[in-house]
Chain A
Amino acid sequence: MNRISFCLLLAMNYTFNQNAYADVTAAELLEKYDKIMGPAQFESEMDMTSNREDGTSRTYSMKALKSGDDKFRIWFTSPSAVSGQEILRIGDNSWLYLPNLKRASRLANRDSFQGGDFNNSDILRVNYTKDFDGKIITSEDPSSYKLELKSKNKDTSYDLIHLWIAKSNFMPLKGEYFGTSGKKLRSAEFSDVKEYSKSYTRPAKVLMKNEIVPARSSILVVKKIKIDITPAPQKFLQTDLGKG
Chain B
Amino acid sequence: MLFGAVLPAAAQDISAALVKLTADGYADTAEAIGDLATSGHPRAAVIVQAIADKTLEFDAATKTVAIRDGGKVVDAATGDAIAAPPAGLSPVRVNNRVRSAISAAMGALTLMSPDPAKRRDAADAVFKSRDQGALATLDAAIAKEKDGAIREALRVARAAVILTKADASETDRVEAASIVRERGDQDAVSLLRSLPSDTPKRVQDAAQTAAKAIETTLALWGGVQNALYGLSLGSVLLLAAIGLAITFGVMGIINMAHGELVMLGAYTTFVVQEVIRSHAPALFDWSLALALPLAFLVSGLVGVLIERTVIRWLYGRPLETLLATWGISLILQQAVRTLFGANNREVGAPSWMSGSLDLGALTLTTGRMWIMVFALIVFLGLMLILKKTAAGLQMRAVTQNRAMASAMGIKTPWVDALTFGLGCGIAGIAGVALSQIDNVSPNLGQGYIIDSFMVVVFGGVGNLWGTLVGALTLGVVNKFLEPVAGAVLGKILVLVFIILFIQKRPRGLFALKGRAVEA
Are these two chains actual partners, yes or no? no
